[in-house]
């Protein structure tokens, strides 16, 4: 809890930095560089702290890294969004034209009235990674009996879901991983068939718990009304469409603060493909660090598959809507994540030093 509190407190630097910008004591360009340094220091220091520790369990490391990313992206989004709001505010005040901004079509902006402690604290509770100065929000009252029932029901469902996920991992996957030690090649296929179903079940169980219940629990508590955390990714016919639909909060963050920013602020010579590539590489970097932190080693299995996915983007664009394209898409949904986790767990069981010895020390 102390570590979580420290992560939360660190994000308030983005609010403090904007207060400095409003005071005009320090040049805005210097504060922007200072903000970047603070964000990078936070992310890499926290990630390394999780990685090097032998006291954290695998599930704990996974949770801690998620929190690092959530706080980093919220911090980054608040600073960048209000930087853009400031440009619009000053341009309307002086009549000066500005370049690209994702908020340029917004008629009314609250800046600088939104640079407050209450505004930032409320935003940190909302189940979103992208800041804007207005959200669809409903009134929340403890006196409202139906609201209390919804919150309690969501909380109970979350606890039950986490219990089911724990049982799946502890009784079906952990004993299997312990058998990965010195596994012979001819037994690899047999072990994968035993691994596949519980692994995929756990993956989609955690997806349901996080996106359907934990985020909606935060939505109920805060009154946040935009609950579309994912779209119909099961109907995706290309990998690009799947990536866009299955995780809306992260996609919106990457789209606004990387893709659109690269196109609008990195120069007119930047092409759409270059912006897509920059966004893709940023995503790859965070995914690889996530697996390195979680499994305490760098194997590049996921990175290799994601780079291969670049080729698949072009192939699937031609196969979109065809039977072959749908077969490739569904095979990817069913086997990619299970294959990657199988390889990382195999390496963890065979090549990672476990303090105290024994496979169970890695997972218990």
Catalytic positions, written as ranges: 287
Concatenated DSSP letters of 207-229: HIIIIIIIHHHHHHHHTB-----
d(CA 337, CA 74): 27
Are 256 and 130 within 8 A, CB to CB? yes
d(CA 101, CA 98): 8
d(CA 280, CA 292): 18
Are 124 and 8 within 8 A, CB to CB? yes
For 61, the token pair is 């490391």
What separation, in Å, do the N-terminal and C-terminal C-alpha atoms of the chain show? 20
Question: b/e per residue, 133-144, with b = 16+ CB within 10 A?
Answer: beeeeeeeeeee
Q: What are phi and psi of 328, to 5 degrees?
A: -65, -40
For 79, the token pair is 């600073």
Concatenated DSSP letters of 165-213: HHHHIIIIIHHHHHTTTT--GGGHHHHHHHHHHHHHHHHHHHHIIIIII
At which residue do the structure tokens 């996080």 appear? 210
Dihedral angle of Cα 285, 319, 252, 308, to the nearest 10 degrees = 0
Cα→Cα distances 21→90, 92, 350, Å: 13, 18, 52
Nearest CA to 257 among 134, 76, 103?
76
d(CA 102, CA 260): 8
Q: What are phi and psi of 216, to 5 degrees?
A: -70, -30
């Amino acid at each position: 809890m102390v570590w979580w509190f420290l992560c939360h407190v660190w994000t308030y630097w983005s609010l403090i930095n904007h207060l400095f910008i409003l005071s005009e004591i320090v040049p805005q360009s210097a504060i922007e560089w200072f903000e970047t340094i603070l964000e990078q220091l936070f992310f890499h220091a926290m990630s390394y702290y999780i990685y090097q520790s032998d006291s954290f369990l695998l599930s704990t490391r996974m949770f801690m890294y998620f929190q690092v990313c959530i706080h980093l992206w919220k911090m980054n989004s608040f600073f960048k969004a209000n930087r853009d709001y400031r440009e619009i505010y000053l341009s309307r005040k002086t009549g000066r034209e500005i370049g690209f901004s994702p908020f340029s079509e917004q008629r009314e902006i609250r800046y600088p009235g939104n640079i407050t402690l209450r505004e930032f604290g409320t935003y940190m509770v909302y189940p979103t990674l992208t800041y804007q100065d207005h959200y669809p929000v409903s009134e929340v009252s403890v006196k409202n009996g139906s609201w209390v029932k919804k919150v309690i029901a969501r909380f109970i469902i979350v606890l039950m879901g986490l219990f089911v996920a724990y049982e799946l991992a502890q009784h079906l996957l952990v004993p299997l991983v312990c058998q990965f030690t010195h596994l012979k090649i001819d037994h690899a296929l047999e072990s994968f068939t035993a691994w596949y179903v519980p692994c995929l079940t756990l993956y989609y169980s955690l997806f349901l718990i996080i996106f359907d219940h934990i985020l909606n629990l935060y939505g109920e508590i805060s009154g946040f009304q935009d609950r579309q955390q994912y779209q119909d990714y099961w109907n995706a016919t290309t990998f690009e469409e799947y990536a866009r639909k299955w995780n809306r909060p992260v996609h919106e963050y990457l789209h606004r603060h990387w893709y659109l920013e690269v196109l609008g602020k990195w120069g007119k010579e930047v092409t759409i493909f270059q912006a897509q590539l920059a966004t893709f590489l940023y995503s790859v970097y965070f995914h690889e660090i996530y697996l390195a932190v979680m499994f305490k080693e760098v194997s590049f299995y996921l990175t290799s598959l994601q780079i291969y996915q670049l080729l698949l983007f072009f192939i699937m664009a031609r196969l979109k809507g065809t039977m072959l394209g749908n077969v490739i898409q569904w095979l990817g949904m069913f086997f990619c994540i299970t294959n990657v986790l199988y390889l990382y767990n195999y390496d963890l069981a065979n090549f990672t030093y476990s303090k105290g010895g024994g496979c169970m020390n890695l997972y218990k």
